[in-house]
Amino acid sequence: MVAAWKAGEATSKNIDLTTRAAVIKGDGVTKTFAGTVVALEDASFSIAKSAFVSLVGPSGCGKSTLLRLVAGLLPLSKGTLSVHNKPVNRPRRDVGMMFQKATLLDWRTAVENVLLPTEIAGGVTTADRKRAIDLLHLVGLKDFEFSFPTQLSGGMQQRVALARLLQTGADVLLLDEPFGALDEFTRERLNLELLRIVGDIGATTLFVTHNIGEAIFLADQVMVMTPRPGRLARIVKVPFERPREISLMQSVEFNRLVAEVREILGSHL
């Protein structure tokens, strides 16, 4: 299953961000609403292939706006933004998104929900069907393929949403606090599974969170954002090796990084 995903490129456990091509490039990205509300101002960044990047900051820092701009759901007010060297102006197949709410269709079974992107893109083949089932197994939902969303817990619904995201075959994943509505234990477990899956398929991931510890634990780089107006204050590199254990969050180096990010956010917290 995983073998089918690898794009022929070996994934390394120690990620050297400087030698690989940039997948997401933003230059002076600005978004203004109704001509006056500056949600995001002059953000410039370059995200390499297979990198896991967190966007962290308090409310109003523009992290969700930035995500939606990359997704093509919002038009830019100023600046340039490209994915795979193609400018972003509408939702595309190589970019997939996951929201805080699973937003599954209640009248469809889990596997039918996973097949939704394939239906939208055009006919569903036997291969697509097999892949949907395999993806549900991958996210740990064996025996629930034909359950309906209202029969599933919040965590299970988000797993289906994740499988649906993977079904699109997108290699750029945009996640807007996907496990934010779940309890801490489920969130922790799903975060670890997410890291494993994303690492195996080599996807480039943008992960929005308001939790500093979570942002650092999951990512290779942390884009620290401050509000009023929304700005990209700094990009902090996370030096820890993968795979990462939860115990890492107790270490001194880890907490030093947390303190560093807090300082950047400084008066805005």
- Count, residues near another protein per rule CB under 8 A: 32
DSSP class per residue in the chain: --TTT--S-PPPSS--TTSSPEEEEEEEEEEEETTTEEEEEEEEEEEETT-EEEEE-STTSSHHHHHHHHHTSS--SEEEEEETTEE-SS--TTEEEE-SS----TTS-HHHHHTHHHHHHS---HHHHHHHHHHHHHTT-TT-TT--GGGS-HHHHHHHHHHHHHHTT-SEEEEESTTTTS-HHHHHHHHHHHHHHHHHHT-EEEEEES-HHHHHHH-SEEEEEETTTTEEEEEEE----SSPPGGGGGSHHHHHHHHHHHHHHGGG-
Least distance in angstroms from the C-beta of 175 to another protein = 12
Residue span binding another protein (CB under 8 A) among the ranges 42-50, 76-84, 112-120, 252-260: 112-120
Least distance in angstroms from the C-beta of 166 to another protein = 13
Least distance in angstroms from the C-beta of 192 to another protein = 25
Which single residue is written with the structure tokens 């254990």? 245
Figure out which of the listed residues 11, 20, 84, 116 binds another protein, where binding follows CB under 8 A: 116
Does position 252 bind another protein by CB under 8 A?
no
Least distance in angstroms from the C-beta of 185 to another protein = 22
C-beta of 62 vs 149, nearer to another protein = 149
The residue type at 132: A
Residue span binding another protein (CB under 8 A) among the ranges 8-16, 39-47, 93-101, 188-196: 93-101
Residue span binding another protein (CB under 8 A) among the ranges 18-26, 147-155, 206-214, 250-258: 147-155
Residue span binding another protein (CB under 8 A) among the ranges 79-87, 103-111, 179-187, 198-206: 103-111
Distance CA 89, CA 72 (A): 5
Least distance in angstroms from the C-beta of 132 to another protein = 10
Figure out which of the listed residues 12, 91, 142, 153 binds another protein, where binding follows CB under 8 A: 91
Figure out which of the listed residues 17, 20, 99, 235 binds another protein, where binding follows CB under 8 A: 99
Q: Which of 149, 122, 146 is nearest to 132 (CA)?
A: 146
Q: Among residue numbers 177 through 216, which ones bind another protein (CB under 8 A)?
A: none
Does position 153 bind another protein by CB under 8 A?
no
C-beta of 174 vs 238, nearer to another protein = 174
Does position 119 bind another protein by CB under 8 A?
yes
Q: What is the CA radius of gyration of the chain?
A: 18
Distance CA 102, CA 108 (A): 13
Q: Which residues bind another protein (CB under 8 A)?
A: 71, 73, 90-93, 96-97, 99, 101, 103, 105-107, 109, 111-112, 116-117, 119-121, 126, 129, 145-151, 168
